[in-house]
Amino acid sequence: MRSAVTYPGRPGVGHQWAYLPDVAETMARLLERSEGLEPFAVFHIEGHWDASGARTIEAIRAAVGDPCLGR
């Protein structure tokens, strides 16, 4: 069975990546404190910036040993 890696943006445009369990934990913690937050407050989650938009995809391909994954 083959799988695919789908890039969420346009080729050549950078993208911010974050580990989904970390994002979920951050959202849960914010919900626990929602009473004390300003309406429409903005929070940033530190992740990994991929300036080319392709380096993370290539790292995934290398980690799973399939250089054609998602192509």
Q: Where are the domains of the chain?
A: 15-64
Question: Coil, helix or strand for 58?
Answer: helix
pTM of this prediction exceeds 0.85: no
Query: What's the pLDDT tens digit per position in 54-64?
Result: 888 888 888 88
pLDDT band at 67 (very low <50, low <70, confident <90, very high): low
Categorize the per-residue pLDDT at 27 as very low, low, confident or very high, splitting at 50, 70 and 90. Answer: very high
In angstroms, the CA 15 to CA 53 distance is 5
Predicted local distance difference test score (pLDDT) of residue 1: 53
Per-residue tokens: 25:
């934990």
Is the pLDDT at 48 greater than 80? The verdict is yes
Dihedral of the CA atoms 40, 44, 49, 53 (nearest 10)?
Answer: -20
Asked whether 4 and 70 are in contact (CB, 8 A), the reply is yes
Q: What is the mean pLDDT of the chain?
A: 84
Q: What stretch of H or E contains 35?
A: none
